[in-house]
Amino acid sequence: MEYPPFIESIRTRGLDMKSVVCSTFSVGWFGEKKQGKRVINVLCFYTNGTVNIYARPIEGVTVVVDLDQMKITRYIDRIKVPMPKAQGTDYRESTQKPPFGPTTNPISIEQPEGPSFKVHGHMVEWANWKFHVGFDLKAGPVISTADVYDPEKRRFRSVMYRAFISELFVPYMDPSEEWYYKTYFDNGEFGLGLSSVSLQPLNDCPRHAHYMDAIYAGANGKPVVKENVFCIFERYAGDVSWRHTETGIPDLVVTEVRPEVTLVVRMVATVGNYDYILDWEFKKNGAIRGNVGLSGILEYKATSYTHLDQIQKTNEDIYGNLLAENTIGTFHDHFLTFYLDMDVDGIENSFVKAMIKRKDVTNGKSPRKSYWTVEKMVAKTEDDAKIQFDLKKPADLLVINPNKKSKVGQDIAYRLATGSIAKSLLSLDDYPQIRAAFTNNQVWVSRYNRTEQWAGGDYMDQSHEDDTLAVWTNKN
């Protein structure tokens, strides 16, 4: 705030320095041979009239700071555009109108006998599950030693040794001077755990939730305690887990319905403008589900454009959508990579690709001309287990224990059930994609190595291509 060129930049824009706030951004890596310095970019925003600082960026001004010297080493003021209006940008509920303001009656899930789960330290027991909840500065929530109870064998059987979000890649699609470096790695560069926030009872989590604190070593080596970082609760939203109505038996109608009640472990990480709601959900049928909800505020770009017609006349690529006068929402992605160390009925597990293939009926013994069947392939090498999803080649992805069989001789297995399918569209030689080569495939399976847990490498800030999942698996 005392740097003369910056003071001049604020003055020429007609802004009040008292309403200027600044934040730090990672610089990335773009082929530089030597770096080795602790360097950040500083960008600034204007609060005048709103708490939504992201809606009013001071576009065109970039400050490069060497953190070892605590000096500005480069200063850029390249373009000047109008400051977006403050009106209508305040996100606080008290400023909202229906339907975003308070319009519905309060909702509460009652449990007259209390919750069904038990917590002993960081061990959780619920229904047929028991598991450990841990905290990591990078990943946030870590689920360990998840076992499911088998009522026939009368013992717990291991499912998963450890699971967490290994990396979170957020590349923006604007190659301009002010934006090209915005290719964030929210785990490695910022830390989901470090960015965790205290949860708000009855809003972040329902009634009867159990809360846990997080403790970690601060920059000065002293313990830091964050209260209510985790909440654990039973979720019921009126869904059905299983049902059947049988009308085929004379003089008897059988209806059986079971509600879908699950157990959720939740943490929220606020990384700058975005809030990630991180849920690990356990179901009675043995399923484990990783859910990520995205909330918060877009990162906006200020522009001179006020209407789409102006952009169409110039035919300029604005790298996003015009959302309001002088405001662009820049195109970008969020790629979440999960680390899953499975222990399906023990530690000796294999990866199986069960491919669904069409067969043609050629013997003339059926009016049918085709059907499909399943062919299984056990991955022998890491190359066998690099999976790119193709809707034309459907397959089930299984983690099996080849040494354990069911009563009828089937492999004991867990299926990897995918949600939405995503793939980066950046070129493979683009520097952000080189660093994020772990997104080149949707699924990778590697031989266990305790040093290979972070998909982008141990140290993401200004990282190159030398320590990623794509490099480790070249050992094949």
Closest of 197, 168, 225, 226 to residue 26, by C-alpha: 168
Lookup result for tokens 């400023």: 95
Residues paired with residue 64 on neighbouring β-strands, in sequence order: 41, 74
Residue of 380, 419, 161 lying closest to 290 (CA atoms): 419
Distance CA 470, CA 43 (A): 32
Q: Are 330 and 301 in contact (CB under 8 A)?
A: yes
Indicate the burial class of 64 (C-beta count within 10 angstroms; 0-12, 13-18, 19 or more): middle
Beta bridge partners of 20: 46
Amino acid at 447: R
Element (H, E) at 281: strand 274-282
Neighbours of 151 (CB within 10 A): 7
In this structure, are strands 370-378 and 350-360 parallel, antiparallel, or unpaired? antiparallel
Whether 150 is a known active-site residue: answer no
User: Which alpha helices (H) appear in 268-335, and where do they start and end?
Assistant: 308-314
Residue 303 DSSP SS3: coil
Question: Which is catalytic among the residues 54, 172, 184, 274?
Answer: 274
DSSP letters for 58-75: -TTEEEEEETTTTEEEEE
- Residue 132: C-alpha distances to residues 60, 178, 288 (Å): 47, 43, 14
Catalytic residue, candidates 136, 174, 181, 186: 186
**Separation between Cα atoms, residue 356 and residue 412, nearest integer Å:** 19
Distance CA 469, CA 337 (A): 11
- Please answer whether residues 354 and 374 qualify as being in contact, where contact means their C-beta atoms are separated by less than 8 angstroms: yes
> Phi/psi at 441 (nearest 5 deg)?
-125, 155
274 is catalytic: yes
Residue 99: asked if its preceding bond is cis (omega within 30°), the reply is yes
What tokens appear for 370 in the block?
A: 């085709």
Q: Name residue, tokens 């019921």.
A: 236
Q: What is the 3-state secondary structure (H, E, C) of 243-265?
A: EEEEEEECCEEEEEEEEEEEEEE
* Tokens describing residue 6: 């910056």
In contact, 283 and 241? CB cutoff 8 Å: yes
Please, which residues bridge with residue 321 across strands?
329
The answer to whether 102 and 73 have CB atoms below 8 angstroms apart is no
Q: Tell me which residues are annotated as active site.
A: 186, 274
